Amino acid sequence: MKEKRSSERHETFEYWTVTETSTGRNIGVAVDINHEGMRIHSKDIIKSGALLHATIHLDKHIAGVDSVNVDIRCRWCRKTRASELMAAGFAIVSPSPEFLKIEQKLVDFFSVAV
């Protein structure tokens, strides 16, 4: 049975670049976020179940930082309808207090519930 998100999705006003923390390889851009997960648009297919150590690069200093690290696990990946990009849904894995502090500010000030 498919798992459904239990918290409201928030589409971002700004897209934040997401990279692999250790290599700096571009994963894609975060297009929605909440405390349980995020959706990333990527040029690459991301294997369902893949665990990524990611860095979200913020365009502004938010809560005193311009990036935040987070572990994410891919739940699904499929081609978007409107472009050649792939859309991938990720679960946040054991979010740190630093991530939760930033995430709440991103939800409150840089996104809208959809």
Q: What is the pLDDT of residue 24?
A: 97
Contacts of 7 (CB under 8 A, 6+ apart): 34, 35, 36
Q: What is the pLDDT of residue 89?
A: 95
Q: Which CA distances in Å does 2 have to 52, 88, 92? A: 21, 15, 17
| Domains present along the chain, CATH in parentheses | 10-109 (2.40.10.220)
Q: What is the pLDDT of residue 62?
A: 74
Q: What is the pLDDT of residue 9?
A: 58
The predicted-structure confidence for 36-71, as pLDDT tens digits, reads as follows 889 999 999 999 999 999 999 987 777 788 899 999
Q: Is the pLDDT of residue 1 over 50?
A: no
Residue with tokens 């990720």: 90
Q: What is the pLDDT of residue 11?
A: 59
Mean of all residue pLDDT scores within the chain: 84
Q: Is the pLDDT of residue 25 over 60?
A: yes
Q: Is the pLDDT of residue 88 over 80?
A: yes
- The model carries a pTM of 0.82
Q: Locate 5 and state its tokens.
A: 């998100």
